[in-house]
Amino acid sequence: MATVVSVSDGGIIVGKPKWRPLENEGNLALLLLLPTVALLLMFIAYPFVRGILLAVTNSKVGVIGDFVGFENFARLLKDPIFHAVVYNTFLYTFVTTVFKLILGLWLALLLNRDFKFKAFTRAFILLPFIVPTVLACFAWKWMFDPTFSVINWMLFKLGIVAAGAGVNWLGDGDMAMLSIMIVNIWRGVPFFAISLMAGLQTISPDLGEAAAIDGAKPLQRFWYITWPLLMPVTMVVVLFSVIQTFSDFQIVYVMTGGGPANATHLFATYAYQLGIGTGLLSQGAAVSLAMFPLLFAIVIFQLMYIRRVETR
Amino acid sequence: MIEGAIWRRWVFFRLPMAIFLIFLLFPFYWMIITTFRPDGELYIPWYRANYKPFWTWNPTTAHLKYLFGETTFAIWMWNTTFIAVVATAISLFCGVLAGYALSRLNFRGAALLGTTIFVTYLVPQTLLFIPLSEIIRAYSLGDTPWSLILSYPTFLIPFCTWLMMGYFKSVPKELEECARIDGATRWQAMLYIIIPVAVPGILSAMIFAFTLSWNEFIYALVFLSSPEQKTVPVGVISELVRGDVFFWGPLMAGALFGSIPVAIAYSFFVEQYVSGVTGSVKG
Amino acid sequence: MSNVTIRHVHKHYADFHAVKGISLEIKDKEFVVLVGPSGCGKTTTLRMVAGLETITEGDIMIGNKIVNELPPMDRDIAMVFQNYALYPHMTIYDNMAFGLKMRKFDKAEIAKRVNNAADILDIKEHLSRKPRMLSGGQRQRVALGRAIVRNPKVFLFDEPLSNLDAKLRVQMRVELKKLHQRLATTSIYVTHDQVEAMTLGDRVVVMKDGLIQQVGEPLELYNNPANKYVAGFIGSPAMNFAETVIEQVGNAVYATNPTMKIRVPEQIAARMGPHKGKPATLGIRPEDLHMATGADPEELSFDAVVEVAEQLGSEIILDLKAGGGAMVASVEPTVKVKPQQKIRLGINPRGLRFFDAATEAAI
């Protein structure tokens, strides 16, 4: 049999389990988690420590630097481009998140109805989110081209702009910021819409009907029933999106490269320009790490929120 | 669903839906039409009377020929596929096992470890790319596919783990208990019962991980330098843009063909992908 | 020999004492039902026998072997779960064969046993289907089949019928009984339904708050409940209780309260010595009440007001106000009463029970 037995008094046998270390939950968990923990330690924890070490030295590519304390951060505080970066990043994150939420919610409400080709429509709507961002950005860049812009042609045909006086989408600082915001919103709306739609589907239609019988008008039904019940999903989606947008790189890198005249630099693109472009690794690492406090605050907030929702 | 007059249906549903669809899909239409439009038609300023944006009567394959003949686009496609497949496989392997351990086993530190993995899931690539590039160089992995195959799991594993934890939690505990009473060890119960039952969850993690690694940009941009090592997004940007000169025809062809594999993978698994999107926010 | 012995078993969770030292001897081939409200520790006890929960204190023996340390796979038991726990990705055949495959039976033997079990349970035509294509009752049979193919020492059942609708539940109950008569495998069955417990069990164990209240054959529990809890739990509709005080009047002993004065039958009165002058709970089952006639002495009847009369055809269930509280009586179907009508109910003296008001133990 499967057991080794020892006979004690009175003919009673004490069953002794075979030696199977993986039947112990702790041991099995250790084994299962080993590859994950090893990879994450090597490629997340270690780089994080290295990043901090880089940020407090004056290393350049190929040159191991000396310890300089907080000099890199002190320099950033005096750097006008960094000031612009902070302003740009907050503005970019705030404006796009607001629009993504409004448009995404609207689209989710539209998608939540029954109509022909619903599955088909839903599948197509996610395309901006799944296609490689860099490649999609090239399509936008081509649509924003100063000379050949199809968007300007549309505005021209609608009589909004005159021939030869089109919108200088990527050449003007403010318009460039607007352009990258449009692209970010374009890419983010599908994610908001699909996630919020999933949230909407968990809300029983009975509630809306009960409220309708109680005399609530559509807007009231949305405000008093749908919106509060959707709140947990909305919070998570917004926080995810804020993290992604705050640390965005690809859209700006392709559309404007941070220009014109640093008008659209974000943390990530500025860090890239300093650290990889000019080889000032330490300063680049310092710019990247400057994102950390806010990201950390968002993560803590999110964890607390999830815990609150779960224990409710 | 929408009560009342036809005009209401138009104002509150059809019109907004149409505008959303145009806004979201027009760039793809523009990609496709540009790919097949001859240069002579492409470069007409927008205010000229002969600017005909929406159709071409002279489709050409010149841009495609340029893309596949004059650039190493085919090699980039292969590189991207290879990297995405291997990174996805590694991440799924780790993520499924870790997700199982964190959601179904009781051990000390489970909650803490779960939270830690959730936090790493939220770490953006742009936070760590500079020190990571140093480390990749120190491991002599620079300019090889392995630099990406080993670094992509850092954001894929937390994602897969998180998604799988959610999925495993939805599988009744009794299945495992029944298997163990039936004579399976914990390991066998996981392998023969719980993992096969979780296949839909694994599929959505897989398709998500694949598109994430196919789309990754900044690590590929920083870690790879020679043209024949590049992935599609990086290759297109560095080889089809020369200084200020954009080769719009081949660029759009590259964008189109670089999007096709993810679009195909996506079209086969739309449902899984959508449940991945929703699963990733529900956790 | 596959008797099961539970000796002084405790189960502590982090902040909850779920099982508080229970002992139970289950004989070979016996069908024992653990019954009680949710949270009474019955399922925890079953899971400790299965090896799915560790035993904090005490011993569990299967046959003459202490199994405390053994994983479930080495205990030679089979378990049927409330939600059936069928493996959704396997066919019915593979579901039933899984345990045998894990134990390295050869293919021919597996096929023989699975087909045999499928015959017994009448699920042969479903063998190549997946669980989700089956109805609830069929899934239940598969879960049973999976248990019986292994021919284990002990069957464990964790509320196996509670996911079925009422009609199917009755039907499966009968089949379970037949199956046990045919296979004669030692069985431990957990349920919160006292009817299931009474109909299925050779013996029934009533549990509450982690403790065994009483162990006995179904009729013994019905006729001689050890305490007020068991008295109220076993039987449907439940036993009526009225708070009374025990008084000696002349030669007779009475249980009285403002609306009742009931004479305590001789054989119980003999045990009333220490309770005289003290409160005691009077218990009487609805089926031991009837419409009083001239033949009923006054000291074995009391007044009641009808609130609702439920006509069931074979009997009428009267919901009453009586004895200082609510009572239920089961009376002849020919009785005609209206709501708010005052009636007088007679007591069958053999149905009278008394319980110590403080300890709730039977007197």
Segment B17-74, tens digit of pLDDT:
999 999 999 999 989 988 888 887 777 777 777 777 777 777 888 888 888 888 889 9
B interface mutation test: which of C70, C79, C102 has the most B CBs within 10 A? C102
Residues of C in Cβ contact (< 8 Å) with A17: 69-71, 74
Q: What percent of chain A has pLDDT over 90?
A: 33
What is the extent of the structural domain holding A135? 80-311
Question: How sure is the predictor about A5, in pLDDT bands with cuts at 50, 70 and 90?
Answer: very low
Q: What percent of chain C has pLDDT over 70?
A: 100
Residues of B in Cβ contact (< 8 Å) with A272: 126, 129, 218, 222
Look at residue B157 in the predicted model and tell me its pLDDT: 93
**Do B226 and B130 sit in the same domain of this protein?**
yes
B259 vs A135, A142, A267: nearest CB: A135
CA distance A180 to A137: 9
Q: Whats the size of chain A, residue-wise? A: 312
Q: Residue B84 domain-assigned?
A: yes
Residues of C in Cβ contact (< 8 Å) with B193: 87
Check if B2 contacts A (Cβ < 8 Å). Answer: yes
**Do B92 and B219 sit in the same domain of this protein?**
yes
Residue B190 near residue B164 (C-beta atoms within 8 A): no
Question: CA of B48: how far to CAs of A151, A155, B33, B41, B51, in Å?
Answer: 14, 14, 19, 12, 6
Q: Residue B1 domain-assigned?
A: no
Q: Is the pLDDT confidence value at B81 over 80?
A: yes
Check if C70 contacts A (Cβ < 8 Å). Answer: yes
Q: What percent of chain A has pLDDT over 70?
A: 96
Look at residue C287 in the predicted model and tell me its pLDDT: 92
Among the ranges given (A157-166, A210-219, B219-228, C226-235), the one the predictor scored with the smallest mean pLDDT: A157-166
**Do C221 and C254 sit in the same domain of this protein?**
no
CA distance A139 to A135: 7
Number of domains in chain B: 2
CA distance A280 to B6: 63
The pairing of strands C279-284 and C289-291 is unpaired
**Do B152 and B221 sit in the same domain of this protein?**
yes
What is the arithmetic mean of pLDDT over A37-61? 88
d(CA A250, nearest CA chain C) in Å:
42
CA distance C83 to C131: 12
Give the chains touching C; criterion: ≥3 Cβ pairs < 8 Å.
A, B
Given the structure tokens 């059936």, which residue do they identify? C84
d(CA C197, nearest CA chain B) in Å:
23
Residue C334 near residue C262 (C-beta atoms within 8 A): no
Residues of C in Cβ contact (< 8 Å) with B180: 51-52, 71-73
DSSP 8-state symbol, C273: G
On the question of a cis peptide bond just before residue A260, with omega within 30 degrees of 0, the verdict is yes
**Do C192 and C79 sit in the same domain of this protein?**
yes
- DSSP output for C231-247: HHHSSSSPPEEEEEEEE
Question: How sure is the predictor about A6, in pLDDT bands with cuts at 50, 70 and 90?
Answer: very low
DSSP percent split of chain C into helix, strand, coil, nearest 5: 30, 35, 35
Mean of the per-residue pLDDT values of chain C: 91
Look at residue B3 in the predicted model and tell me its pLDDT: 56
- Which residue is closest to C65 within chain A, CA to CA? A13
Q: Residue A1 domain-assigned?
A: no
Size of interface B-C (CB pairs under 8 A): 62
Q: Residue B66 domain-assigned?
A: no
CA distance C51 to C72: 5
**Are C89 and B197 an interchain contact pair (Cβ–Cβ within 8 Å)?**
yes
**Are A138 and B252 an interchain contact pair (Cβ–Cβ within 8 Å)?**
yes
Residues of A in Cβ contact (< 8 Å) with C69: 14-17
Q: What percent of chain C has pLDDT over 90?
A: 65
Look at residue A4 in the predicted model and tell me its pLDDT: 43
A interface mutation test: which of C65, C68, C77, C150 has the most A CBs within 10 A? C65
What's the CATH number where C161 sits? 3.40.50.300
**Do C273 and C152 sit in the same domain of this protein?**
no
CA distance B13 to A110: 7
Q: What is the pLDDT of residues A113-124, one digit of tens each?
A: 888 888 888 888
Q: Residue B14 domain-assigned?
A: yes
**Do B123 and B221 sit in the same domain of this protein?**
yes
CA distance B20 to A128: 12
Number of domains in chain C: 2
Residues of B in Cβ contact (< 8 Å) with C150: 182-183
User: Which residue type is seen at C60?
Assistant: I
Check if C103 contacts B (Cβ < 8 Å). Answer: yes
**Do C208 and C264 sit in the same domain of this protein?**
no
Residues of C in Cβ contact (< 8 Å) with B201: none
CA distance A240 to B265: 24
B193 vs C73, C82, C87: nearest CB: C87
Give whichever of A90-94, A142-146, A277-281, C311-315 has the largest mean pLDDT.
A90-94
The pairing of strands C289-291 and C77-80 is unpaired
Q: What is the pLDDT of residues B154-186, one digit of tens each?
A: 999 998 998 899 889 889 999 999 999 999 999
C69 vs A2, A12, A16: nearest CB: A16
Look at residue A207 in the predicted model and tell me its pLDDT: 85
Q: Is the pLDDT confidence value at A310 over 70?
A: no
**Are C61 and A12 an interchain contact pair (Cβ–Cβ within 8 Å)?**
yes
Mean of the per-residue pLDDT values of chain A: 86
**Do B42 and B90 sit in the same domain of this protein?**
no
Q: What percent of chain B has pLDDT over 90?
A: 41
Q: What is the pLDDT of residues C109-143, one digit of tens each?
A: 999 999 999 998 989 999 999 999 998 889 999 99
Q: Is the pLDDT confidence value at A284 over 70?
A: yes
Question: How sure is the predictor about A269, in pLDDT bands with cuts at 50, 70 and 90?
Answer: very high
Radius of gyration of chain A (CA): 27
**Do B155 and B189 sit in the same domain of this protein?**
yes
Query: Which residues, 6 or more positions from A102, have their beta carbon under 8 angstroms from its beta carbon?
Result: none
A interface mutation test: which of C5, C53, C70 has the most A CBs within 10 A? C70
Given the structure tokens 């009508």, which residue do they identify? C341
Give the chains touching B; criterion: ≥3 Cβ pairs < 8 Å.
A, C
**Do B237 and B100 sit in the same domain of this protein?**
yes
CA distance C104 to B183: 10
Check if A62 contacts C (Cβ < 8 Å). Answer: no
Residue B60 near residue B37 (C-beta atoms within 8 A): yes
**Are B181 and C103 an interchain contact pair (Cβ–Cβ within 8 Å)?**
no
Among the ranges given (A229-238, B39-48, C7-16, C18-27), the one the predictor scored with the smallest mean pLDDT: B39-48
Closest CA to B148 of B94, B217, B204, B92: B217
Among the ranges given (A58-67, A133-142, C236-245, C342-351), the one the predictor scored with the smallest mean pLDDT: A58-67
**Do B150 and B51 sit in the same domain of this protein?**
no
- Which residue is closest to A6 within chain C, CA to CA? C65
Check if B111 contacts A (Cβ < 8 Å). Answer: no
Look at residue B264 in the predicted model and tell me its pLDDT: 85
Q: What is the largest CA-CA distance in chain C?
A: 81
What is the arithmetic mean of pLDDT over C264-287? 87
Q: What is the pLDDT of residues B107-159, one digit of tens each?
A: 888 889 988 888 888 888 888 888 898 888 888 888 999 999 999 999 999 98
Domain boundary among C174, C205, C233: C233
**Do B80 and B208 sit in the same domain of this protein?**
yes
Q: What is the pLDDT of residues B189-217, one digit of tens each?
A: 999 999 999 998 899 899 889 989 998 99
Closest CA to A56 of A301, A307, A285, A247: A285
In sequence order, the β-bridge partners of residue C304 are C343
CA distance C86 to C145: 11
C interface mutation test: which of B105, B108, B178 has the most C CBs within 10 A? B178
On the question of a cis peptide bond just before residue A21, with omega within 30 degrees of 0, the verdict is no
**Are B182 and C50 an interchain contact pair (Cβ–Cβ within 8 Å)?**
no
Q: Is the pLDDT confidence value at B85 over 80?
A: yes
Given the structure tokens 């001239």, which residue do they identify? C294
What's the CATH number where A285 sits? 1.10.3720.10
Look at residue A8 in the predicted model and tell me its pLDDT: 47
Look at residue A312 in the predicted model and tell me its pLDDT: 53
Helix (H, G, I), strand (E, B) or coil at A205: helix
Among the ranges given (A1-5, A43-47, B124-128, C188-192), the one the predictor scored with the smallest mean pLDDT: A1-5
What is the extent of the structural domain holding C300? 240-356
CA distance A52 to C215: 69
C83 vs B174, B180, B196: nearest CB: B174
CA distance C183 to C198: 20
CA distance A260 to A183: 17
Q: Residue C361 domain-assigned?
A: no
What is the arithmetic mean of pLDDT over A26-52? 91
**Do C77 and C219 sit in the same domain of this protein?**
yes
Q: What is the pLDDT of residues C175-225, one digit of tens each?
A: 999 999 999 999 999 999 999 999 999 999 999 999 999 999 999 999 999
B interface mutation test: which of C43, C76, C89, C154 has the most B CBs within 10 A? C89
CA distance A40 to B69: 40
Q: What percent of chain B has pLDDT over 70?
A: 96
Residues of B in Cβ contact (< 8 Å) with C81: 174, 177-178
**Do B41 and B78 sit in the same domain of this protein?**
no
Look at A304 and B91; give whichever has higher pLDDT.
B91
A3 vs C61, C64, C70: nearest CB: C70
**Are A142 and B157 an interchain contact pair (Cβ–Cβ within 8 Å)?**
no
Q: Residue C122 domain-assigned?
A: yes
Q: Residue C161 domain-assigned?
A: yes
Check if C142 contacts B (Cβ < 8 Å). Answer: no
Q: Residue C178 domain-assigned?
A: yes
**Do B34 and B99 sit in the same domain of this protein?**
no
What is the arithmetic mean of pLDDT over C321-335? 88
Residue B194 near residue B104 (C-beta atoms within 8 A): yes
Question: How sure is the predictor about A214, in pLDDT bands with cuts at 50, 70 and 90?
Answer: confident
Helix (H, G, I), strand (E, B) or coil at C34: strand
Report the interhelical angle of A281-290 vs A71-78 (nearest 10°). Answer: 70
Helix (H, G, I), strand (E, B) or coil at C310: strand
Which of B:162-181 have CB within 8 Å of A?
none
In degrees, rounded to 5, the angle at the alpha carbon of residue A145 between the alpha carbons of residues A140 and A149 is: 85
User: In chain A, what is the straight-line distance between the N-terminal and C-terminal CA atoms, in Å?
Assistant: 49
Encoding tokens for residue C204? Answer: 């029934």
Look at residue C239 in the predicted model and tell me its pLDDT: 93
Domain boundary among C187, C213, C233: C233
d(CA C48, nearest CA chain A) in Å:
15
Q: Is the pLDDT confidence value at B283 over 80?
A: no
What is the extent of the structural domain holding B257? 72-282
Size of interface A-B (CB pairs under 8 A): 299
Domain boundary among C185, C215, C233: C233
Q: Is the pLDDT confidence value at A165 over 80?
A: no
**Are A3 and C71 an interchain contact pair (Cβ–Cβ within 8 Å)?**
no
Q: Is the pLDDT confidence value at A2 over 50?
A: no
Question: How sure is the predictor about C283, in pLDDT bands with cuts at 50, 70 and 90?
Answer: very high
Residues of B in Cβ contact (< 8 Å) with A306: 283
